[in-house]
């Protein structure tokens, strides 16, 4: 362990975290298991973290959830690791819910709230996963982390690693936007630009991580990182219900989430299910996953399955979701094989939600509407959840009178070129003489 790491506060495991379960075959692993995926099912055997339903968990969440100075660690009883103290490397979170009445009126909705995660340190929701990665690496004594990424997971790793004194290696598709690459390079990450797709960069990262014994910050297969992403929904639920004391009606009826590998959506749904299981809320919003039409394997398979989604088992879901050749301007969700597809499907089905797809043109229109009518500047993937709202209204998946919440997951300045075509650049005027 390098010297910088020794300066970080120690991190222990959460004694309530009991281990992980394979989403395909249900095999259970305890917390000593060092693999990331199921030993029987291989890379498709994504694991899901489980917790002991201790009788005092709900009381602790109520008591600690208001301590906003702790960032996402205010929901520590629902996370796998427990830092002994707050440190900038892992104290992220706490974005406020933003009511968006003008955008709601524009869409004919009674109520719309935006969980705007563009304000996190690296300007995307991914910091929530990277924070858990930093804490877990500190616990294991590993000073080098690595991931494959379309850009945002990488940026979150580069930024928080720099804060904590970790080193990192990042595998990105060569076509990642320059703004995102700049973020990595300037924070001192070692960047490997893979002349191929995200899926190919992911394959390459797996081999190198194993060879060098780095800590994997690949949410796509590391189940503990996905737990960090639950905290966006936990914060939203806390804020809207005033710490689980207000009218339960204050919870949204439906929550929209953009989907690439399917980690954010799994964790969003899981968070709401856990809150209900703890008795902190009495219902679960329907969670709707939105993919870009050019990279929509889950939305396609969901539509083809036409009912019975909740009854499908892991093996059937795995077989139903066929890989696609991904092509969309929403680079962060340009994913042909969503690694968390089984987990995402099962969690979405458990909330009564759905998957749908939107064309790139709708995503661009939505970027403009979000900025002009709600004051939120999103990159294409960040706006894709919002882009799904109109499609869901059209398809009858949402009624205009329902309470809608949307996760906006990445900042527009990461890829300003994407929406610039929708703006009319003013002609220069001569200066005053």
Ligand X SMILES: Cc1ncc(COP(=O)(O)O)c(C=O)c1O
**Contact predicate 264/361, CB 8 Å:** no
Residue with tokens 């490997």: 192
- Measure the CA–CA gap between 1 and 391, rounded to whole angstroms: 50
205 binds, options ligand X, Zn ion, none, Cβ within 5 to 8 A by partner type: none
Please, what is the minimum distance in Å from the beta carbon of residue 37 to Zn ion?
8
CB of 147 or CB of 278, closer to ligand X: 147
Please, what is the minimum distance in Å from the beta carbon of residue 431 to ligand X?
39
**Contact predicate 268/339, CB 8 Å:** no
CB of 45 or CB of 353, closer to Zn ion: 45
- Measure the CA–CA gap between 164 and 134, rounded to whole angstroms: 8
Those residues whose C-beta lies under 8 Å from the C-beta of residue 96, and which sit 6 or more positions away, are: 116, 239
Residue with tokens 């709401």: 272
**Chain positions contacting Zn ion, by CB under 5 A:** 22, 24-25, 27, 38, 40-41, 45
38 binds, options ligand X, Zn ion, none, Cβ within 5 to 8 A by partner type: Zn ion
Please, what is the minimum distance in Å from the beta carbon of residue 267 to ligand X?
8
CB of 37 or CB of 370, closer to Zn ion: 37
414 binds, options Zn ion, ligand X, none, Cβ within 5 to 8 A by partner type: none
Please, what is the minimum distance in Å from the beta carbon of residue 246 to ligand X?
29
Q: Which three-class secondary structure state does DSSP give residue 292?
A: strand
CB of 8 or CB of 265, closer to ligand X: 265
CB of 61 or CB of 357, closer to ligand X: 357
Instruction: Count the Cβ atoms, other than its own, within 10 Å of residue 301.
Output: 21
Please, what is the minimum distance in Å from the beta carbon of residue 333 to ligand X?
5
CB of 57 or CB of 124, closer to ligand X: 124
41 binds, options ligand X, Zn ion, none, Cβ within 5 to 8 A by partner type: Zn ion
333 binds, options Zn ion, ligand X, none, Cβ within 5 to 8 A by partner type: ligand X
24 binds, options ligand X, Zn ion, none, Cβ within 5 to 8 A by partner type: Zn ion
CB of 77 or CB of 314, closer to Zn ion: 314
Strands (E), 235-347: 254-258, 286-292
**Contact predicate 124/410, CB 8 Å:** yes
Residue 64, φ and ψ in degrees, nearest 5: -95, -15
Give me the long-range contacts of 362-368 (CB less than 8 A, separation at least 24): 362/387, 362/390, 362/391, 363/292, 363/328, 363/329, 363/330, 363/387, 364/329, 364/418, 364/419, 364/421, 364/422, 365/422, 367/412, 367/418, 367/419, 367/422, 368/419, 368/422, 368/423
Please, what is the minimum distance in Å from the beta carbon of residue 145 to ligand X?
16
40 binds, options Zn ion, ligand X, none, Cβ within 5 to 8 A by partner type: Zn ion
**Chain positions contacting ligand X, by CB under 6 A:** 124, 126, 150, 152-153, 258-265, 332-333, 379, 381-382, 409-410
């Amino acid at each position: 362990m390098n010297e910088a790491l020794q300066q970080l506060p120690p991190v222990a495991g959460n004694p309530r975290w009991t281990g992980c379960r394979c989403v395909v075959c249900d095999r259970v692993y305890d917390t000593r298991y060092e693999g990331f995926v199921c030993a029987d099912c291989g890379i498709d055997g994504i694991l899901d973290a489980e917790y002991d339903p201790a009788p005092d968990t709900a009381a602790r969440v109520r008591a600690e959830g208001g301590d906003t100075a702790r960032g996402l660690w205010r929901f520590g009883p629902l996370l796998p690791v427990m830092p002994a103290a707050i440190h900038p490397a892992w104290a992220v979170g706490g974005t406020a819910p933003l009511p968006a009445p003008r955008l709601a009126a524009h869409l004919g909705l009674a109520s719309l709230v935006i969980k705007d995660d563009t304000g996190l340190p690296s300007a995307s929701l991914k910091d929530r996963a990277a924070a858990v990665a930093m804490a877990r690496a500190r616990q294991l004594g590993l000073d080098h982390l690595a991931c494959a990424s379309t850009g945002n997971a990488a940026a979150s790793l580069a930024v928080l690693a720099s804060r904590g004194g970790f080193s990192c290696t990042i595998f990105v598709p060569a076509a990642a936007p320059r703004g995102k690459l700049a973020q990595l390079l300037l924070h001192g990450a070692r960047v490997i630009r893979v002349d191929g797709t995200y899926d190919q960069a992911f394959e390459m990262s797996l081999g190198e991580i194993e060879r060098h014994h780095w800590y994997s910050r690949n949410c796509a297969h590391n189940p503990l990182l996905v737990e960090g992403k639950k905290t966006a929904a936990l914060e939203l639920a806390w804020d809207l219900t005033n710490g689980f004391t207000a009218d339960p009606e204050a919870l949204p009826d439906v929550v929209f989430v953009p989907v690439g590998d399917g980690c954010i959506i799994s964790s969003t749904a899981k968070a709401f299910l856990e809150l209900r299981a703890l008795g902190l809320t009495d219902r679960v919003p329907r969670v709707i996953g939105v993919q870009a039409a050019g990279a929509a394997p889950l939305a396609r398979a969901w539509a083809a399955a036409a009912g019975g989604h909740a009854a499908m088992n892991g093996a059937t879901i795995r077989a139903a979701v066929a890989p696609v050749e991904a092509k969309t301007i929403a680079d962060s969700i340009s994913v042909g094989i969503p690694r968390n597809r089984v987990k995402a499907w099962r969690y979405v089905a458990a909330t009564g939600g759905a998957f749908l797809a939107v064309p790139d043109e709708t995503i661009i229109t939505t970027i403009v509407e979000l900025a002009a009518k709600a004051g939120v500047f999103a990159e294409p993937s960040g706006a894709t959840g919002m882009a799904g709202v109109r499609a869901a209204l059209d398809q009858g998946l949402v009624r205009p009178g329902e309470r809608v919440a949307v996760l906006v997951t990445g900042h527009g300045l990461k890829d300003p070129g994407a929406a610039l075509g929708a703006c009319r650049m003013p002609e220069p005027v001569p200066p005053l003489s």
